[in-house]
Amino acid sequence: MTDTVRVGAGELTASEILGLLDAEKRVIIEVSIAGIGLDMSIRRQSGTYYCDTPMKLLTYNTDEGMRTCLERYRLAKREDE
């Protein structure tokens, strides 16, 4: 069974999140959109990254693709903070 780590948006850097995924953990990121709390599930399975949003399933085949997603949607804090 996969361990799950629950964090708020912007608590971890993209590198920290990717490290958790490499350790076979699933990351739930709690976000607030227009005052509504939502969970984003981030996982890696068979070399593919999955970002399950309430509206869409995003998939990425590379670390860089997942990193870009995490930063674009402000799920991760900036590396230099």
Q: Is residue 9 part of a domain?
A: yes
Question: Residue 65 has which token pair?
Answer: 């693709």
Q: Which is higher by pLDDT, 13 or 56?
A: 13
pTM across the whole model: 0.88
> Looking at the domain assignment, is residue 30 inside a domain?
yes
Assess if residue 81 is contained within a domain.
no
pLDDT per position as a tens digit, 14-27: 999 999 999 999 99
Does pLDDT of 48 surpass 80?
A: yes
Q: Please check whether residue 78 lies inside any domain of the structure.
A: no
Q: Quick check: is 80 in a domain?
A: no
In a domain, 17, yes or no: yes
Burial class (CB in 10 A: 0-12, 13-18, 19+), 12: buried
62 domain-assigned: yes
The parent domain of residue 13 ranges over: 4-72
Do the domain assignments include residue 22? yes
80 by Cβ neighbours in 10 Å (0-12 / 13-18 / 19+) ranks as exposed
Count of the separate structural domains present in the chain? 1
- The answer, yes or no, to whether residue 1 has pLDDT greater than 70, is no
What is the per-residue pLDDT for 15? 95
